[in-house]
Amino acid sequence: MQAEASAVLARHNVTVSGAGGRTMMFAHGFGCDQTMWQPVARNFERDFRVILFDYLGHGRSDLSAYSAERYCDLQAYADDVVTIGRALSLNDAVFVGHSVSAMIGALATLKAPGMFSDLVMVGPSPRYIDDAGYRGGFSREQVEELLEFLADNHLGWSAAMAPAIMGNTDRPELSERLENSFCSTDPEIARDFARVTFLSDNRSDLGSVAARTLVLQCTNDIIAPMEVGQFVHAAVPRSEYRLLQANGHCPNLSAPDEVTAAIRDFV
């Protein structure tokens, strides 16, 4: 059991830091890895046990454990979250998910009630493609174009599955070599994850989410527009809604202090 748990943690490059009675788990979205949460996560280390991890195929996870057949929908990603949660014996923890991970977190609360009592959804969208009476912000053609772009263009995604940031200030040529060393993603897995993400429709799951939920909406987010955040807030029973001043899709990077404050107020 012990060995199995540590295998899970290694597979997802799980890092545990901080000290506190409660646990807060941060999950990255499409196109990135756990490093994107560091500017926010470090602010909670004083009073929370902080968990960061990479989905398979992202960051420094175990690429070989990935299978396109298995990861054909968001549920498979949610199952991995639950597996990590069990390996760490999580109870009444806080799950903070960015972008598609907001929905993955919602699915994880449904799969394992009691594991997460609080859910923070940063830039969530239960469906990206417009539908009758629903505006997700994307057309089907646009999603097809995105998938085609990702299939054709591997540049900039995989450059370095290299060892992380080296603190070699006296040998700058070493850090020079590590181009694009954050958020490295296997290009094929990135394309698969994009397909699963942007073709997902989890609107009908929102009503069953029992966790206390905070919806954090960004200003001018082309991935998750304003009305999508409001849709999520209206559909999730015990939810609060907060509009951030932060611009764009990644407030955890562009405005970590504002995101930290919003999460703190909520928990």
CB 152 → other proteins: shortest distance, Å?
Answer: 5
Q: What is the largest CA-CA distance in the chain?
A: 59
The yes or no reply on residue 227 touching other proteins (CB under 8 A) is no
One residue of 154, 235, 241, 261 binding other proteins per CB under 8 A = 154
Nearer to other proteins, 74 or 250 (CB): 250
Q: Would you say 18 and 65 are in contact if contact means Cβ atoms under 8 Å apart? A: no
**Number of C-alpha atoms within 13 angstroms, CB side, residue 207?**
2
Asked if 249 is an active-site residue, the reply is yes
The DSSP element (H or E) to which 155 belongs, if any, is: none
Per-residue x/- track, 19-58, other proteins (CB under 8 A): ----------xxxx--xx----------------------
Rounded distance between C-alpha atoms, residue 14 and residue 34, angstroms: 9
Rounded distance between C-alpha atoms, residue 31 and residue 26, angstroms: 15
* Residues in region 235-264 near other proteins by CB under 8 A: 247-250, 253-254
Nearer to other proteins, 209 or 253 (CB): 253
Rounded distance between C-alpha atoms, residue 9 and residue 3, angstroms: 10
Tokens of 262: 């919003």
Asked if 201 is an active-site residue, the reply is no
Asked if 221 is an active-site residue, the reply is yes
Candidates 9-17, 84-92, 175-183, 234-242; binding stretch for other proteins (CB under 8 A): 175-183
Question: Which parts of the chain fold into alpha helices (H)?
Answer: 2-11, 38-41, 74-87, 100-111, 140-152, 172-177, 187-198, 226-235, 251-254, 256-266
Candidates 16-24, 63-71, 72-80, 143-151; binding stretch for other proteins (CB under 8 A): 143-151
Nearer to other proteins, 185 or 202 (CB): 185
What's CA 196's distance to the chain center, in Å? 14
Catalytic residue among 99, 101, 184, 239: 99
Nearer to other proteins, 91 or 247 (CB): 247
Catalytic residue among 205, 221, 233, 239: 221
* Residues in region 56-85 near other proteins by CB under 8 A: none
The DSSP element (H or E) to which 255 belongs, if any, is: none
Q: Would you say 10 and 62 are in contact if contact means Cβ atoms under 8 Å apart? A: yes
Q: Would you say 99 and 249 are in contact if contact means Cβ atoms under 8 Å apart? A: yes
Q: Name residue 118's beta-bridge partners.
A: 94, 212
Nearer to other proteins, 19 or 166 (CB): 166
One residue of 131, 222, 227, 264 binding other proteins per CB under 8 A = 222
Q: Which residues are catalytic?
A: 99, 221, 249
* Residues engaged in binding other proteins (CB under 8 A): 29-32, 35-36, 99, 142, 145-157, 159, 179-183, 185, 190, 194, 222-223, 247-250, 253-254
